[in-house]
Structure 1
């Protein structure tokens, strides 16, 4: 029971940290401000997260949990049949739900810390490794990928998606955005065709 309460309190603190970071920026969100926002003493927050670095590390884990949700439509499809429709697969990877799952400003503010903090750098490497591993797991569950180098395919797809996501976040013109988006989707379809993974 105590562990459950502890886990719920940690989750509450991380979500409060995230909400304030969205509103005020990561750099302007202190433990004192989180305490005021949540109506709890800063000492209680520091009981669970002794340093701001540990707090940010846990926020990155929260980012991962949110981002893994993007794969759910494909996983649901694989639970009912042994292959995933390529359109479902590609649409999930390039869904704008990514933006709704987590704020870009907070994501990149956390990311910028990898150049100054080895612990945060390790956390981000683990985050990206886990996203790639989850993508590989999806490919491995699809009968069309049997005998294929799913490690390399997952890596190639992930590079396209990550690069596209970064670049598209800077485009405001809807027509340009959609045109670029379709071009990036085509790159992934080309990779799928190269590996002969489309279900016929």
Structure 2
């Protein structure tokens, strides 16, 4: 089985979006360079710097599946059934899913049991590749269940002051020294291993 890694763009004060889910201040780096990186589905291509493109493409290539929560799924309407990263995704939800354009997609697996079962389903899909975990509630649940191997942060030099945090319960998170540090334009890509007992 591959690693389980949370990944998100975040502000210097640890927020992945404003309270209203806005991300304009955080996502400028996706259009900060000259390297065109295509996305799956209907999302327009990114225009990244060479450093960010190399990092992003390596991350995308490493992925085998994702685990996402209901809030992100509803905000994006399940990406119409095709995630921009081009991998299958497991939706963990305790409510029925109706009326979404994503329903019926072969890339969507809906799980109601719990976070451990959702991660296991994603690992089955991913094989030896990485299972990516959405930041926020899902990443927090995966961390608290002892299932998270690493935390990736695309760190943007902005302070939001308030918003939606990367981890939601405020409990301490023990991370090791960064295994990846890639400076880009308007972003620094970082990866931290989760220490045992994180």
TM-score, normalised via structure 2 length: 0.25
Higher Cα Rg, which structure? 1
Q: TM-score, normalised by structure 1?
A: 0.24
More helix by share: 1
The structure with the greater share of residues assigned to strand is 2
Higher relative contact order (CA 8 A, sep 6+): 2
